[in-house]
Structure 1
Amino acid sequence: MIKISLEKSRVSKFTTTYLIVGIEIIIALLSGLTLIALGAGGGAWILGGIAAGALVFYFYHLYNNQSKPNRNSRKFGQIIVGLTVGFSLKHSNLLTIYSQLHIFLFLTLFLLFSGGIIGYIYSRIEKTDLLTAMLATVPGNIGIMASIAADYGRNISLVSLVQLIRFTAIIIVIPIVANVSNPHDISAIIHSVTENLFFIDLNYLSLLFLLLFITLSTVKIGSYLKIPVAGFFCSIIVGAGFDSLLNLLPFLSHIDFNLPPLFNLIGQILLGITIGEYWGMNPKLGRLTVAYASVPVAMTFLAGFISAGIAMLIAPWDWLTCLLVTSPGGSPEMILISLALHHNVEIVTAGHLVRLMTINICLPGLVSLICYLERRSTKNQDSVADQLKTISPKSAMP
């Protein structure tokens, strides 16, 4: 009886989870089309996902206050977006990118250094410990930063809040700046989106299933090897090399396989839904907390623009490319915006992948260094306090 009840509970939870995701996707599709009509451009589907996730999860959280954001949505979103980026790179010449590797590394280290300074300032403003402040301000993945905060017993909600505000603000602002830099015909974009949205070539369905099987297997291996954001990084590799793999098979003629348009769109929406669900969990925030959190976010924006200016001086890229490469937002989202604008996807992808790898490699050392500095500071404070205790009033008199 207990086994049956547990199985029913799991089935019920599974059904509820995917029913919520289905509702979120439908609302996100409608929101995305509306945002495109208003001129949101490259970030419309992600923003639609954020709006849908926040709205649906807010009401669901009132019903079940133990519910948590669905991490699988973001994982699947990263896989789909990674495949989309990979397919866009399959005919590109990436050898020229290697000559600019030092530029990518310099810009990444500049952003990390800026994040350290901003974190120190924020720790003073918010009166919190240095590790919490650093995890909140370093431009990285929301989930990773929050999980590190949990491992070290720090303020998870504060880390998530600052990262969430930064993440959302950048996704809203960068597409607006990009659309100003690249004027476009809104009616033409809506027509191009809706024209082939639900078109699926039935002959390619078996290849699509093969692609998903290879991708999921590669992502699993990548996760086992602890590759940073394996769902995104490994999917790019599979997408870029899938056509070459098909051409190696003797029983298949030359095939130019492309992902269905709806497939790509769903991936963007899933990325936005996870962010929206985090907002849906915390709809009521103190004004002072938000005001304090906005300070490091504004400073991170400033650091990103300064970094873009430096990139203009040392790299042969235009302003929009520099902005997309140095933008301290989510890597999949920034690459998607460049993809939507058909604007130097190879450079933007390379820049964000280098930054992603560098941050994840440096993060353990950075956390260890901060913990060491905190222990040393605490030890010095305790030493001073002990010395003051040992001084008697008589010995202190002149």
Structure 2
Amino acid sequence: MLNRLLLFVMAACLGTLFLKMELPIPYLLGGIFAAVACKIAGSPVTWPKNWRELGLLVAGYGIGRNFTADTWEKMTHQTFGVLEATLIAVAVAVLIAWWTARHTSANLISCVMGIMPGGLTQMMLMSEDDPRADANVVVVMQTLRLVGVIVAVPFLVIHGLGAQVMQNNAIVQTTDGTHWLILVPLSFLGAFVATKLKVPTPRLLGPILATAAGSYFWGSLQPVPGLLMMLAQVSIGLYMGVMLDPKKLSATKELMPYIFSGIVLMIGVSVIVAWSLSERYGFSLVTAFLAMAPGGIAEMCLAGMSMGEDVSIILTYQLVRLLFLNICVPLGITMYFKNKSLD
């Protein structure tokens, strides 16, 4: 317990430093970097999954409250853009997977599962159940993709796209709307129902969908206190950082150039598609980029919150892609590789 407390303090200090540097999602990044630094130094750090999931419940409420009736009306006019962005992201991921499998010892099914954006949990579970997939390759590729994007995107939106972090965004409170403690029944009910329905990543999507429904029908919901959101970000970040295993990274070092070049390609395509979406629908380039970026739904929405961007747009695009990747892509993988050999 003492080691975890020290790890948390280290993450919080790094997060505060990143906040002073005006980086988005500073405390989540602080958690990742603190855990990775300890693992590289050889310290056997761990972070309970239950603590991460409590953080997801808070983040899910914070994200879902941005979805309103007005958001739904706007998004009905952007159906083509949402589907276009999703299909382009999947196509680029498949291209990267094919190229990686062609030039490394990893097989195609492992590379496809490893590079799909937004499907970390589902792809890891599939790799464990399919003997043709190398679970180690999938874990390394998915973890590096997610962490790489989460680290790269904040720098790009700040230094490349001219976004600015709202220093007081995390602590500004309002008395308007339903009290933020509504997150307790909403988040737990949403997570429970999502788990029973076998929705992917239920501890995140359940609270998001339940809170979005509450916001749609009841109107404004108050944001959570800044301290609580900070605790949630640190917990999520620490769990992600702990997932990086130096031994697994060493065992798959031949994949590294292809993973990182794939991340660069994904981000580059995301910028191009984001520019097109921004021009077509009128929201900011930063909002469009975070909506298109191949990171996690929680991380990209939290980044948008910290910069005052339109989180409802980011949420919608990321959510549609996440559902597509966790429902349609697994079916596609199963059908395509159904009669393939283990080689």
TM-score bucket (shorter structure): 0.7 to 0.9
Aligned match for 1:179, one of 150, 158, 180: 158
Contact 2:92–2:266 (Cα < 8 Å) also in 1: yes
| CA distance in 2: counterparts of 1:291 and 1:176, whole angstroms | 26
Aligned match for 1:227, one of 194, 199, 202: 199
Q: 1:284 to 1:107 in 2, by over 3 A?
A: closer
| CA distance in 2: counterparts of 1:245 and 1:134, whole angstroms | 39
Equivalent residue for 1:389? Answer: none
Corresponding pairs, count:
337
Contact 1:115–1:300 (Cα < 8 Å) also in 2: no
Query: 1:259, CA displacement in angstroms?
Result: 1.4
| CA distance in 1: counterparts of 2:266 and 2:286, whole angstroms | 16
Q: 1:360 to 1:141 in 2, by over 3 A?
A: closer
Equivalent residue for 1:170? Answer: 149
**Match status 1:25 vs 2:32:** no
| Letter of the 1:324 counterpart | L
| Letter of the 1:223 counterpart | T
Q: TM (normalized to structure 2)?
A: 0.85
Equivalent residue for 2:49? Answer: 71
Identify which range, 348-357 or 140-149, moves more after superposition.
Answer: 140-149
| Letter of the 1:37 counterpart | K
Aligned match for 2:128, one of 132, 147, 150: 150
| Letter of the 2:155 counterpart | I
Q: List gaps (5 residues or longer) in structure 1.
A: 1-15, 248-254, 379-398
Larger radius of gyration: 1
Query: 1:292, CA displacement in angstroms?
Result: 2.2
| CA distance in 2: counterparts of 1:303 and 1:327, whole angstroms | 8
Query: 1:101, CA displacement in angstroms?
Result: 1.7
Q: 1:305 to 1:258 in 2, by over 3 A?
A: same
| Letter of the 1:28 counterpart | A
Equivalent residue for 1:7? Answer: none
Question: What SS does structure 2 have at the residue aligned with 1:328?
Answer: coil
Give the RMSD, CA atoms, in angstroms: 3.2
**Match status 1:98 vs 2:76:** yes
Contact 1:162–1:294 (Cα < 8 Å) also in 2: no
Query: 1:355, CA displacement in angstroms?
Result: 0.4
**Match status 1:83 vs 2:61:** yes
Contact 2:67–2:215 (Cα < 8 Å) also in 1: no
Query: 1:20, CA displacement in angstroms?
Result: 4.9
Question: What SS does structure 1 have at the residue aligned with 2:229?
Answer: helix
Alignment of 1:10-21 (within 5 A): 16=1, 20-21=3-4
Query: 1:58, CA displacement in angstroms?
Result: 6.4
Task: Report sequence identity in percent.
Answer: 19
Equivalent residue for 2:264? Answer: 301
Contact 1:43–1:172 (Cα < 8 Å) also in 2: no
Contact 1:219–1:234 (Cα < 8 Å) also in 2: yes
| CA distance in 2: counterparts of 1:183 and 1:114, whole angstroms | 26
Query: 1:213, CA displacement in angstroms?
Result: 3.1
Contact 1:115–1:134 (Cα < 8 Å) also in 2: yes
Question: What SS does structure 2 have at the residue aligned with 1:347?
Answer: helix
For 1:212-267, what per-residue CA distance to the aligned partner results, in whole angstroms no more than 9, with x for missing partners?
133212211111111222222221233345468779xxxxxxx9643111111122
| Letter of the 1:33 counterpart | T
| CA distance in 2: counterparts of 1:210 and 1:22, whole angstroms | 29
Alignment of 1:232-311 (within 5 A): 232-242=204-214, 257-279=222-244, 281-282=245-246, 285-286=249-250, 289-311=252-274
| CA distance in 2: counterparts of 1:135 and 1:174, whole angstroms | 22
Q: List gaps (5 residues or longer) in structure 2.
A: none
**Match status 1:36 vs 2:1:** no
| CA distance in 2: counterparts of 1:122 and 1:373, whole angstroms | 22
Question: What SS does structure 1 have at the residue aligned with 2:338?
Answer: helix
| Letter of the 1:100 counterpart | Q
Query: 1:337, CA displacement in angstroms?
Result: 0.8
Equivalent residue for 1:45? Answer: 27
Contact 2:191–2:206 (Cα < 8 Å) also in 1: yes
Question: What SS does structure 1 have at the residue aligned with 2:223?
Answer: coil
| CA distance in 1: counterparts of 2:3 and 2:50, whole angstroms | 13
Contact 2:15–2:29 (Cα < 8 Å) also in 1: yes
Q: 1:143 to 1:269 in 2, by over 3 A?
A: same
